[in-house]
Amino acid sequence: MTRLSLTETKLLLLHIRKLSSTTLALLAFILAAAVMFSVAFGAALVIESRTEKVVTARLAEAGISWITVATDGLQVRLTGTAPREADRFRAVNMVGGLVDTSRIRDGLDVAPTTGIEAPKFSVQMLRTEDGIQLIGLMPEKPVDGSLDEAMLTEEASELAPGTELPDMLETADYPAPETWNAALAFGLEALRRLERSKISVAADVVEVTAISDSEEEKRKLEGELRGIAPEGVRLVLDISAPRPVITPFTMRFVVDADGARFDSCSADTERARTQILRAATAAGVSGAPVCQVGLGVPTPRWAEAVALAIRSVKELGSGSITFSDADVSLLAGSDVSQETFDKVVGDLETGLPDVFSLTSSLEKKETATQGPAEFTATLGEDGKLELRGRLTDETQRQAVDAFARSAFAGAEVLTATRVDETLPDGWPIRVLAGLKALAEVDNGKLLVRADLVEVTGVTGSTAARGKITQILSGELGQGQTFKVNVRYDEALDPVASLPTPEECAANVNAVIARTKITFTPSSAEIATTARPVLDELATILSNCPPMQMEIGGHTDAQGSEGGNQALSQARAEAVLLALQGRRVDVSGMTATGYGEAQPIADNGTEEGREANRRIEFVLKGAHATAETATPAAGESAERPAPAAADATPAAGPDFSGDTSPSVAPTEKTLAPKPRPEGLKAEE
């Protein structure tokens, strides 16, 4: 073994010392690098996690759930399928507002474009005094027989002759929805009936906004339009009547043995009406009292004054108060004490606004009288008018006779009066005012005395009591006592007495169930024996409101299917023409042939074939909620004819028995008349 010299040993030790310093420095560098890498890697993970959370939360807040967010270092990767390109662009811009756009990696797809949807067809029709405007989008190729753009424009032009319709209709080459043609035809018919209207037509809904001249016309129009509304189309009606001018502006509140009630009520605004009705409810008025909103109020403080008056009569416990414009008449019952009367009158005079003038009186208990001066007028159901009693002189007798013949035009007038020069002042005015009021009823009686004017009778108008009240309060003057005992009879109402479409269908059903419409064999010629049936049907239908009704023709299974179809169509059309020839309004009726497709009996027997050869009347439109068939001839035992619905119409307001001094309401809202179910008639 070679021994190192001392010098070599020293050199070796020096070399080892230098090598250790370098190694240690290198190891220290490596350790520092590892620490820095760990810190940077941890920071990158934190940044990735934070970025992903922020972007995901923002997208969720915007309702975007179709994007998946992933981060890779500083990069933000977006993947998913956007419904549309616009949605993709919006989402990328949203993420770009959170992170630098250079860090975004857009991996989004866009869903394939689907077929272009058909546009929503709609037409708006506007009719005013200045003309008609049509605007909207219609199918370019309507079904045969339906309205196209040119036909619609031509029909509308006939409603406004001399004016040029602006061309604001567009067309699109797409098929029309199933109910479009029926809805458009109905909208045009509504435009014909409504001179001031806006009608919006879509396939599933027709919205009608219009102005009528009166409440009566409004009720009539609403009934007609609902009666001819097509099946499957929702009808939205908003027909308004202008607020009437009430002259004089009246209110009558009574408390007697029958309880508290309004004989008449007027208000200038809905807010005033609510205030008055609240006071009436607090005073004991039950039910749903009617208070007409109109023009002509003498002061904006009308509701305040009326509410005070109602509370005053309630405090009296018995009596009535009448407002005629600014004139107020309070009549306390005979059972009211003088002390109570003085207190209530004092409070009322203090509380009424200055514009009102109050006259008050305490009714005296009845005493026997002999031979009071009277004038009577009796209007009978036969239209005969009898005038009896006392008049001041021959001049007044002639004036009363002439006035009666004018006011009751067409009536047979019998004047059997006598002259009495001792009659009190104002007698002629009381007589003429009473006759004017009596003319508002269909039949009734007028009684005129020195202290009372009383009108009794029956009317077919819900506004008659209010009109009579306005006449008497305006003509007689403040403080005069009058009574109105007028009863409403729905049978005399020209609008309410019309049968409903369902009632008409029920009546047609009864005739068809009894006697069948027959034809010459193998032809569309109506048999001579069927003419009485058609005459009876025409009488029924002529008194019906407009309605949608289908006349369906049916045959047995003998012969070819095509021949039976044509024969049934021809027979249905023959019935339609026969009714039209008898002056029936057939604008809402259609004729449809079904051939042998809808048998109701076995075609293998002669009886069954006879039953299958038939004509059906089927109620359509808004009222046809159900269909009940009448029996064909020869099968009434198995299929009894349907009766009219067992619901009875709600009775109109009954004012009989009301003998208190009264002023009639200017408007009365009737309970809705129940409608029977839709019916179907088969022959």
Q: 208 near 220, Cβ under 8 Å?
A: no
Structure confidence at residue 303 (pLDDT): 95
Does residue 58 fall inside a structural domain? yes
Shared-domain flag, residues 476 and 507: no
pLDDT 10s digits, 462-502: 888 888 888 888 888 887 888 888 888 877 777 666 778 88
Q: CA-to-CA distance for 418 and 184, rounded, in angstroms?
A: 66
Q: For residue 366, what pLDDT band results from cuts at 50, 70 and 90?
A: low
Nearest CA among 176, 218, 184 for reference residue 201: 184
- For residue 49, give the CATH number of its domain: 3.30.1340.30
Residues 595, 561: Cα–Cα separation, whole Å: 7
Say if residue 96 is in the same domain as residue 179.
no
Number of domains in the chain: 5
From CA 357, how far away is CA 276, in angstroms rounded? 20
The CA-atom distances, in angstroms, between 269 and each of 276, 295, 604 are 11, 9, 71
Q: Is the same domain home to 137 and 230?
A: yes
Helix (H) or strand (E) holding 384: strand 384-391
Q: How many CB atoms lie within 10 A of CB 153?
A: 15
Contact 579, 586 (CB under 8 A): yes
CATH number, domain containing residue 545: 3.30.1330.60
Higher pLDDT, 101 or 497: 101
In this structure, the answer to whether residues 516 and 602 fall within a common structural domain is yes
Q: Where are the alpha helices (DSSP H) in 414-521?
A: 427-438, 464-476, 501-514
| Peptide bond connecting 248 to the previous residue in cis, omega within 30 degrees of 0 | yes
Helix (H, G, I), strand (E, B) or coil at 198: strand
Q: Which of 427, 461, 492 is the last residue of a domain?
A: 492
d(CA 353, CA 60) in angstroms, rounded, equals 64
Beta strands 197-202 and 122-128 are antiparallel
* In-domain check, residue 402: yes
Is the separation of the CB atoms in 478 and 359 below 8 Å? yes
Phi-psi region of 573 (alpha: psi -120 to 50; beta: other; left: phi over 0): alpha
pLDDT at 658: 40
Whether the predicted model's global pTM rises above the 0.85 cut: no
Whether the predicted pLDDT of 504 surpasses 80: yes
For residue 334, the one-letter residue type is: S
Same domain, 256 and 283: yes
> What confidence tens digit (pLDDT) does each residue in 117-131 have?
678 889 999 998 888
The pLDDT assigned to 35 comes to 64
What is the structure's pLDDT at 27?
A: 67
Tens digits of per-residue pLDDT, 379-396?
Answer: 998 889 999 888 988 888
pLDDT in tens, 601-620: 998 898 898 889 999 998 88
| End-of-domain residue from the set 328, 362, 396 | 362
Residues in the chain: 683
Q: Is residue 479 part of a domain?
A: yes
Burial 311-339 (b: 16+ CB within 10 A, else e): bbbbbbebbbbbbbbbbbbbbbbeebeee
My answer on whether 381 and 442 are in the same domain is yes
Provide the CATH number for the domain around residue 473.
3.40.1520.20
Q: What is the band of 660 on the pLDDT scale with cuts at 50, 70, 90?
A: very low
Residues 255 and 357 in one domain: yes
| Residue 241 pLDDT exceeds 90 | no
pLDDT tens-place string over residues 408-453: 988 889 988 888 888 888 899 999 999 999 999 999 999 999 888 9
Sign of torsion over alpha carbons 288, 293, 298, 302? positive
Where residue 631 falls among pLDDT bands split at 50, 70, 90?
very low
Average confidence (pLDDT) over 245-263? 89
Return d(Cα 359, Cα 352) in angstroms, integer.
12
**What does the alpha-carbon distance between residue 281 and residue 569 come to, in Å, rounded to a whole number?**
61
In a domain, 68, yes or no: yes
Residue 154 placed within a domain: yes
Q: How far apart are CA 36 and CA 337, in angstroms?
A: 109
Render pLDDT for 328-362 as a digit per residue (tens, 0 to 9).
999 998 889 888 998 898 889 889 999 999 998 88
> Smallest Cα–Cα separation from 184: which of 214, 147, 237?
147
pLDDT at res. 496: 67
Domain presence at residue 676: no
More confident residue, 20 or 323: 323
Three-state SS for 308?
A: helix
465 to 331, 407, 458, 635, 660: CA distances (angstroms): 20, 17, 10, 52, 13
Same domain for 564 and 506: yes
Query: Does 131 share its domain with 101?
Result: no
Parent domain of 486: 375-492
Assign 41 a pLDDT band (cuts: 50, 70, 90): low
Write out pLDDT tens, residues 524-535.
899 888 889 999
**Residue 413 CB-density burial (10 A; 0-12 exposed, 13-18 middle, 19+ buried):** middle
| 193 lies in some domain | yes
Structure tokens at 310: 């109602």
Give the helix/strand (H/E) hosting 152.
Answer: helix 149-159
**Same structural domain for residues 351 and 430?**
no
Q: What are 386's strand-pairing partners?
A: 378, 414
pLDDT tens, position by position, 146-182 = 778 888 888 888 888 877 777 788 888 888 888 888 8
- DSSP helix/strand/coil, 316: helix
Co-location of 473 and 529 in the same domain: no
559 lies in a domain?
yes
Can you tell me which residue has the tokens 């009347």?
Answer: 617
Asked if 384 and 444 touch (Cβ cutoff 8 Å), the reply is: no
Asked which of 492, 512, 537 is the last residue of a domain, the reply is: 492
Bridging pattern class, strands 75-82 and 104-110: parallel
Strands 259-264 and 250-256: antiparallel
Same domain, 419 and 328: no
One-letter amino acid identity for 504? C
